[in-house]
Amino acid sequence: MRRFLQIQILRIFRTVGSILTREEIGLASLGASDEEVKKLAACYWHSVEFGLCRQHAAGTELSQEQGNGTASSIKAYGAGLLSSFGELEYACGGEEGKEGGPTFLPWDPEVAAVQSYPITTYQPVYFVAESLLDAKEKMRKYCEKKMSRPFYARYMPEVQSIWVDRAVRVGKKVG
């Protein structure tokens, strides 16, 4: 029964985590340049597909300094990780800094946007958010600060539509 509950919790965690970050990345891609889309794709890879999050005790905030320094305090929310038992064990089952093991970096979209990633082997670098909300907020701030879009977009779940702050027209692509 406990194993069943753990699997259900992981499914919920994966769905919520992916939606939170995926929504921000999807909105940011509207009106983005080709170079910005490449950076968003890298952020997508390092969060929605291979994102990690610190495990917090109920009712507490656990900072990186307070963590025990091992990957055991880290949980996966990325769909790519959760669908690969071997990589899940590799990413969450060992000690950070162990020879042959992965490197863990704090979730920073600006760094993730330029971090290369292999598609046929385990990831050498994983980004770890302090929480799912932290991942979403940092992604939103990155998009607002670093994207040169001609408008601001927000998803409105109540009416299932995208709100933009000014009129947008589809034009011919220049260049």
Alpha helices in 73-131 (DSSP H): 79-82, 85-92, 109-112
**Per-residue pLDDT reduced to its tens digit, 62-119:** 444 444 444 447 888 888 998 888 998 898 876 665 677 899 999 999 999 999 999 9
Under DSSP, the state recorded for 103 is E
Summarize the confidence of residues 110-134 as an average pLDDT. 93
Say if residues 38 and 116 touch (Cβ distance below 8 Å): no
Q: What is the mean pLDDT of the chain?
A: 76
pLDDT higher than threshold 90 for residue 24:
no
Confidence of residue 154 (pLDDT cuts 50, 70, 90): confident
Q: Which of 77-86, 110-119, 125-134, 149-158 is predicted most confidently?
A: 110-119
Share of the chain above pLDDT 90, in %: 26
Assess whether pLDDT exceeds 60 at residue 130: yes
Q: Which of 143, 170, 142 is CA-nearest to residue 28?
A: 143
So where are the chain's domains? 2-149
Q: Does domain 2-149 have CATH number 1.10.800.10?
A: yes
Does 35 carry a binding-site annotation?
Answer: no
Say which residue, 173 or 34, is predicted with more confidence.
Answer: 34
Q: Is the pLDDT of residue 121 over 90?
A: yes
- Give, as one character, the DSSP assignment of residue 48: I
Distance CA 121, CA 124 (A): 9
User: What pLDDT does 170 receive?
Assistant: 66
pLDDT at site 70: 46
